[in-house]
Amino acid sequence: MNQQLVEAVRQLPLNPLIDPSPVSWWPPALGWWMLVLLVIVTGLLLWFIGYRRYLQPALRLQRQKKRLRQEILPLLRDRGSEAATSINRILKAHLLSLGHTECKTLTGQAWLNYLSAQAQLQPAEADALAPLGSASYRPPASHVDGGPSDKAFARAILLLARRLSPGSSGLAEKRGIVNG
């Protein structure tokens, strides 16, 4: 009987078996698309967290320094009797906003020493800030000709505004302010 079955199969018009084509790599299966989507979402989430934690406070500090310079520049051009007092007030408010609570009660030479230490000024630059030490008591001398002391004072104030950074107290870290 087996012999008859084999003969019957051989007489049928059958083609030889053909292997199927291999599975292509493109388009990927649904699992690969999900994995790519997960990697993209994770990357965007990490970038957003990093931006909020590190870049945003640095940009905020940069904007504060720019605003400080914009407030101080007209006062340096003014040379009025209240210019140094106003500069003192602006610098103190800026330092307090950065977390330097220890500067709140400083006046005179202690205030100058604090500013010089915070901005890491050279002795010549720190000497140019002398009008700020006595600003609350008398206005700085106004030179009509714009002599070298005015230029040195203006240069020292602008250098100070550029170099001031957040305090080392815990308040600055709580606000997320980083040194810039």
Contacts of 116 (CB under 8 A, 6+ apart): 125, 126, 129
Map out the domains of the chain as residue ranges: 64-175
pTM of the model: 0.58
pLDDT, tens digit, 9 for 90 and up, residues 85-95:
888 888 988 89
pLDDT cut 90: percent of the chain above it: 14
pLDDT band at 179; cut points 50, 70, 90: very low
Model pLDDT, residue 177: 45
Q: Is the dihedral of CA 141, 146, 148, 153 positive or negative?
A: positive
Residue that is written with structure tokens 């990357």 in the block? 43
pLDDT at residue 147 greater than cutoff 60: no
pLDDT band at 16; cut points 50, 70, 90: confident
Question: Among 97, 80, 180, which Cα is nearest to 135's?
Answer: 80
Tokens of 137: 């008591």
pLDDT at residue 149 greater than cutoff 70: no
Query: In which element (H, E) is residue 63 found?
Result: helix 56-78
pLDDT, tens digit, 9 for 90 and up, residues 79-136:
655 788 888 888 988 899 888 999 888 888 999 999 999 988 888 888 888 888 877 6
